[in-house]
Every structure is written in C-alpha cells, then in structure tokens.
Amino acid sequence: MRGELRIHLGAAPGVGKTFAMLGEAHRRLGRGTDVVVGVAETHGRDRTAALLEGLEVVPRRAVEHHGTRLEEMDLDAVLARRPQVALVDELAHTNAPGSRNAKRWQDVQELLAAGIDVISTVNVQHLESLGDVVATITGARQQETVPDDVVRAAEQIEIVDITPEALRRRLAHGNIYAAERIDAALAHYFRVPNLVALRELALLWIADEVDTALRRYRSEKQVDEIWETRERVVVALTGGRESETVLRRAARIAKRSGGADLMAVHVLRGDGLSGGQVGAADRVRRMAEGVGASFHTVVGESVGDALLDFARGTNATQVVLGTSRRSRLARVFDPGIGARVVQESGPIDVHMVTHRDAGRALRLPRLRTALPASRQALGWAVAVAGPAVATVLGVVLSPWVDLSTDVVLYFLATVLAALAGGLGPALLAALLGGLLLNFFLSLPLYSLVIADPGNVLTVATMLLVGVLVALVVDRAARRAEQAARARAEAALLASFARTVLTRSDPLPRLLDKVRETWALRSVALLERGEDRVWRR
C-alpha cells in the first residue's frame, strides 16, 4: 500500500516548518509510531536542533563533488530501515550530482511507493507555478522548485503561519540566520511588504486547495445545497448590447465581496437556437477575460434552469443578470428568465441589473429570416400575385360560389406566400388579400367601407394564420441552416483529425489547412513548456 504524504507549507524561511515537523514526530513517537529522521535541516538553530533528541536519525551519506564534501539523505538506508514514518525536510532540495534522483521530492516518491509515510516541508516560493510571481515580489528567482502537483497530491497540507512582524523579530533575535546575515536579510528579502505578499500567496494557494477538496467532496456526495464558504459570483451574459453593462456591474459586486471569484456564463439552448447574434460567445469571452472573470458555456433547454444548475454546481453565492428587454405587456404573459431565477434561486442572492435596453423590446416577430434571397423574392411575388389571382377567380366564379369560398382562396394565397417567403410576404399577402376581398367581393362592392363586421375578423384571422405559418417556416429554415453549419464543422474537424492521424509529421500540413480554411495570412502554434514555435 502506498504511503501518505504530509507537508508543512510556509510563506518564508524561519516560520517554523522544521520545528513543526519535528514536533509532529515526537507526538507520533509518543503514540507508539515507528518514526525516523531521514533528513532534517536545523540551519544551526538551537531550538530546532534540540527537538532531534529522542528521535532516531538515519546517518547521511557523503558525496564528493569537485573537492567538496556534501551530505545527502541516504535513501537506500531509509528504505532498508522501513519505518512507518520518515521525516524528509526541504522537499524542493536539489540532490548532489551523482545521486540516484536529481531532486529530493523524487526520493520522497520512492519512499511513498515503498509504503512509508512521509512528513516534509516546503516554502511557497519553491512552488513551480509561483516562481515568476515570487521573483517579481522579492527580486530573487528561486533555483530549487517542486512541481505543484507533487504538493497537491499530499494527503495533508498544513500551513505554518506567522505574522511578518513576528518573523522579523525572530530574525532580529538571531533565531533564523547568523548575526552577520541579519541586517542584509532585514533590508532585502525580509522586508515587511515582501513578507506580507508571500504570506498572502501561501494563504491563497492553500485556500484554493481546500476549495478543490470541497468541490470534490460535494461532487462525490452529490450535495446540491449552497455552502457559503466562499463568495462566488455568477454573471449571465447573452451577448447582447446590455452584456457589457451587466458584466461591469458583476465585477464591482465581486470586488466589493472581498475579491470573490467571478464566473461569466453564456447559456446556449439545447435545440441549437441560442437566440443570440452570431459570434456572441466569442464577444462575451473577450469581455469576461477583460475583467478577470472565468468564462463558461453551458447548454440547456431552459436558460434559467441551466444558469441555476451551474450556480449550484459551483457553490455560487450570488447570481447577476440583466433585467428583461421585453415590455411590461409581454412580461404579463411570460415573466421571463429573471423572474424564474429569482423564484427558484433559494439561498443564492440574485442581482437584477438595469440597462438602457430594459423594457424597450416589444418582442414582435423579427422580419429577419434565414431563407435564401431567391425564396424571399419568390415569396414577395406570390404575395402580390396570389391575392390578385384569388380576386380574379372570385369575380369570375361569383355566380356559383359565395363569400366563404372567396375567403378560402385568400387564405390559400396567404399560406402559399408564407411557405415561399416567410413572414414579410405573408403579412403583405394577408393585408392585400383583405383589401381586395373587401373592395371587390364584399358588400358594398367597389368600396373599402366594411359593412359586415365579420370581414374584420376574416382579415385579422388571415394575418394571424400568415404569421404563424411564416414563423414555422422560418424556424425550420434556421434549423436547416444550423444543421448545415454543424455538418460543415464536423467535416472540417474530421479533416483535421485525418491530417493528424495519417501523417508522420502532421503539424505543417495541419497549419496549412487551418490557414487555408479561414483565409489567414499566417498561422503559428506555440507549445507550452517548450521554446518551440511552428509557423506557416
């Protein structure tokens, strides 16, 4: 069985990591645990060295390097001793040349693989991901680092914390460095701003690890309730003109909540009809990155349900969304997404942000259509010719048919115009048909005066039928367009995949295909962690 790793994490040298590690060893020894010291660096500190008394210390091995005698942990001796717990100080230490492993953390991995529990120490400045940040703060780049994943894999991480003022007093009293090094350390690395920044880095890093563990637990136990352990703000963005206003307001809310996490969410309808403009997701992503928010795209049949599901899944405490753009009259029949989110949010606070487009939209059917230009032209022609033909037939057949038959002919003309050209031609056919019916076929003839109130209902019904049929045609056309786009994208991705899988050196050809597909002048692919760039 693999051993467990426990790490004491500190913000700076001298906070007491080794002291805490040796104290833990004495407590375990007192409980009857077999504990040995693989390596413990006391750095000449008397109080730390005193804690070695009573502990079994595995002798170090000597290594000669360019005439210098170096001492390293004897990994083979510790493995042969096979204690229950081994103390291995300074996890990021670089072993002397000629050692079996280049880094001490690799020695620890061997001990863990052998089933030995390990207690170790590391400072936050030695974490690889924070190297650049620490160098900016302190002006000194750390040469010895340990991968973050190694530290994150520890079963227990305990932060050893001390205030900057207390650490400087400990340094001034000679409890960290020798007397000749104290003044230089106080004036440079151990300045109060440096220590405050390093302490914040350590606290934030450990907070992120605790948060990750909490999310893992909630996911495994399927916990849906909101635990307000940390402020998280979810902002819903549609990609419309109000998105920038809503996002800025959400960023201010997150900042005033103590620097809460800000997550921007763009919801796509599950049926593929997002309702947003083309490229809305890309614009929203750029806006989110501009204010330091993480960007997420979720898919759901109901925008409100998808938004709340995401908020609950991320343990969010606040949701921000814009007020409805629809008019008050429209909200009487459908309260809208915002109202549903407020009703179903439970313990999540909901902020409704007003904007200049709020309440201005009438939500009438859009005249924009997904139909091609040729069909639209045909629709306009049918919208003019259809009612005219119905009028001619009505006049010619008037001795044999009544007004109800004429109405059916005009209905047919309206439906044909809707099927051919969508909403615009349907409205024109309905209006034109109503006027022609009233002028040529209903009493009084050759007059626009409506003597029979039923004719008003007839015209209104033709308008409604035309609109409904046109909406069905338009939605079908949109779905067909989106399906065609999806097929094209799938074919494109399949082509790229074939290039990668069938060529021994696929990158040049892949970049050529990308450049050709999107009509780009040049394409560059950068590989993280390597100083390599491919350009075409």
217-249: pLDDT as tens digits: 666 666 666 665 678 899 988 877 788 888 888
- How wide is the angle at C-alpha 259 spanned by C-alphas 255 and 264, nearest 5°? 75
Answer with the residue of higher pLDDT: 54 or 329. 54
Pairing assessment for the beta strands 261-269 and 56-57 based on DSSP bridges: unpaired
Domain membership of residue 482 (yes or no) is no
Residue 96 has pLDDT above 70, yes or no: yes
Same domain, 101 and 211: yes
Indicate if 114 and 179 belong to the same structural domain: yes
| Listed range (22-31, 56-65, 383-392, 434-443) with the worst mean pLDDT | 434-443
Q: What is the pLDDT of residue 84?
A: 96
Q: Are 212 and 293 in the same domain? A: no
Does the structure show a pLDDT above 90 at 519? no
Is 128 inside a domain boundary? yes
pLDDT for position 534: 53
Q: What tens digit of pLDDT does each residue of 77-87 get?
A: 999 999 999 99
pLDDT of residue 489: 65
If asked whether residues 321 and 410 sit together in one domain, one would say no
Between the alpha carbon of residue 267 and those of residues 19, 237, 274, 294, the distances in Å are 52, 8, 8, 14
Amino acid at 180: E
167/258 same-domain check: no
- Compute the Cα dihedral for 41, 46, 48, 54 and give only its sign: positive
Q: How many angstroms separate the CA atoms of 297 and 246, rounded?
A: 17
Residue 307 to residue 298: CA distance in whole angstroms: 8
CATH number at residue 116: 3.40.50.300
| 53 found inside a domain | yes
Please answer whether residues 134 and 126 qualify as being in contact, where contact means their C-beta atoms are separated by less than 8 angstroms: no
DSSP letters spanning 464-529: HHHHHHHHHHHHHHHHHHHHHHHHHHHHHHHHHHHHHHH-SSHHHHHHHHHHHHTT-S--EEE-TT
CB 440 within 8 A of CB 393: no
Alpha-carbon distances of 480 from 272, 441, 475, 536, rounded to whole Å: 11, 40, 9, 35
Residue 112 lies in a domain: yes
Min mean pLDDT across 43-57, 60-74, 162-176, 199-213 is at 199-213
CA separation for the pair 418, 426 (Å, rounded): 5
Instruction: Categorize the per-residue pLDDT at 363 as very low, low, confident or very high, splitting at 50, 70 and 90.
Output: very low
HSE-CB for 141 with a 13 A CA cutoff: 4
Query: Half-sphere exposure of residue 502, counting CA atoms within 13 Å on the CB side?
Result: 8
Give the pLDDT confidence score for residue 466 in this predicted structure: 67
For residue 186, the enclosing domain spans 5-219
Within a domain: 361:
no
Same domain for 439 and 410 = yes
Asked whether residue 489 is domain-assigned, the answer is: no
**Which residues touch 503 (CB under 8 Å, ≥6 apart)?**
509
Provide mean pLDDT across the span 43-68.
88
For residue 202, pLDDT over 70 is answered with yes
- On the question of pLDDT at 275 being above 60, the answer is no
What distances in angstroms separate CA 512 from CA 393, 413, 492, 509, one per listed residue?
62, 52, 13, 5
E strands present in 74-188: 85-88, 117-123, 156-160
Q: Edge-to-edge, what's the strand order for the sheet holding 294-300?
A: 294-300, 261-269, 232-236, 318-322, 349-353
User: Tell me, what's the pLDDT at 83?
Assistant: 96
Residue 161 lies in a domain: yes
Asked whether residue 205 is domain-assigned, the answer is yes
Same domain, 99 and 189: yes
pLDDT digits (tens, 9 = 90+) for 292-312: 888 887 777 778 888 888 888
Same domain? 76 vs 191 = yes
117-123 and 5-10 as β-strands: parallel, antiparallel, unpaired? parallel
Count of structural domains within the chain: 3
Do 162 and 138 belong to one domain? yes
What is the predicted pLDDT for the residue at 365? 43
**Structure-model confidence comparison of residues 19 and 209, the more confident one:** 19
Is residue 520 very low, low, confident or very high in pLDDT (cuts 50, 70, 90)?
low
Are 29 and 55 contacting, i.e. CB atoms less than 8 angstroms apart?
yes
In this prediction the pTM is 0.51
Model confidence at 397, pLDDT cuts 50, 70, 90, reads confident
Q: Is the Cα dihedral 492, 496, 501, 504 positive or negative?
A: positive
- Separation between Cα atoms, residue 534 and residue 536, nearest integer Å: 7
**pLDDT above 90: percentage of residues in the chain:** 23
For CA atoms 363, 365, 367, 373, the dihedral sign is positive
Strands (E), 147-251: 156-160, 232-236
